[in-house]
Amino acid sequence: MSDATNSENAELTEMCQYVLRNHGKRIRPAMCILSYYVCGGKDAKKAIDVGASIELIHNATLIHDDINDQGDLRRGAKALYKEYTIGKSIVAGDYLFALGFRLLGASTDSIIDYIVDAASGLAAGEFSQKKYERNVVVDESEYMKIIGGKTARLIECAGKCGSYLAHSDAEDIDKIGQFAYNAGLAFQIIDDVLDVAGDESSTGKRVGNDIVEGKPTLPIIYAMEDPVVGSRVKEIFTNPNSTYDDAAECISLIKKTDSIARCREKARAIADEAKASLGFAPDSVYKRSLIGLIDFFVSRDR
């Protein structure tokens, strides 16, 4: 990935390196490469390239997301547009997006279809998220669609690409896809839990961001259903001028309900469903790693 970002423009290269240096958990490349091995692949070179390509595209969308959401911090460091400018960051995001497609090289139609489907899902997920911003009408099933587009589809794509590259048949590619999609849902539910119940020094993100931004998340949706604190949570969630102080109040209200426990339970149930999709694959160190990955998703605190 790092080699791919060298450009003729020193500042552009520097911005790409800034983004890659503060890297995240790189779960999409992990999903791609492990899925490849689980499905019997032997030489992961191509799966590594495709995984890196997906990670570059993911980073490109994060740069643009931070601009849209006016997020200050990303992975414990200043968001790119805060360190440079919005204009340059839009362009740097486009550049990383193009590099992602370059790394794909001459891939087959299927790989490109998987990735473009996921990229268009990202756009659709962003659109429904905006539709339900500060909107109490949002419910669990709408939430699942939003995080499906926003998070799970690119992780699903990573799994399907790995499986496809290992020459799996269509049925097994679907099963790995179901595993990875559900893993993505579980990951995002816990991500949203950490916005309420996380520790800033572990997560690298300010707690309460989603509440201040009016983003519909599962902990908020469940808390809005609570007969005692629900109406005050709704007030804060729908207030376009809510502050981090309001968010702190909202978090203490959410913590009085069973919302966090229900979210964790939901994530665990989805993770169990995901693991069941892996029944087709023989036991191996790679399969155990995939299961370890999803266990980490639902138990993590960062």
Binding site for its own copies (CB under 8 A): 7-9, 11-12, 60-61, 64, 67-69, 86-88, 90-95, 97-99, 101-102, 104-109, 112-113, 115-116, 119-120, 122-124, 126-128, 130
Least distance (Å) between residue 183 CB and its own copies:
22
Q: 28-48 burial, b for 16+ CB within 10 Å, e for fewer?
A: bbbbbbbbbbbbebeebebbb
| Spatial distance between the Cα atoms of 25 and 155, rounded to a whole number of angstroms | 13
User: Which residue number, 123 or 228, has a Cβ lying nearer to its own copies?
Assistant: 123
Least distance (Å) between residue 115 CB and its own copies:
8
Least distance (Å) between residue 117 CB and its own copies:
9
Least distance (Å) between residue 274 CB and its own copies:
23
Helix or strand (DSSP H, E) at 184: helix 170-197
- Phi–psi pair at 78, nearest 5 degrees: -60, 140
User: Which residue number, 123 or 269, has a Cβ lying nearer to its own copies?
Assistant: 123
CB 63 within 8 A of CB 80: yes
User: Which residue number, 7 or 238, has a Cβ lying nearer to its own copies?
Assistant: 7
Q: Which of 50, 62, 53 has the alpha carbon at shortest distance from 24? A: 62
Q: Which residue in this structure is represented by tokens 């399969």? A: 287
CB count within 10 Å of CB 240 equals 7
User: Which residue number, 143 or 222, has a Cβ lying nearer to its own copies?
Assistant: 143
Least distance (Å) between residue 73 CB and its own copies:
19
User: Which residue number, 210 or 219, has a Cβ lying nearer to its own copies?
Assistant: 210
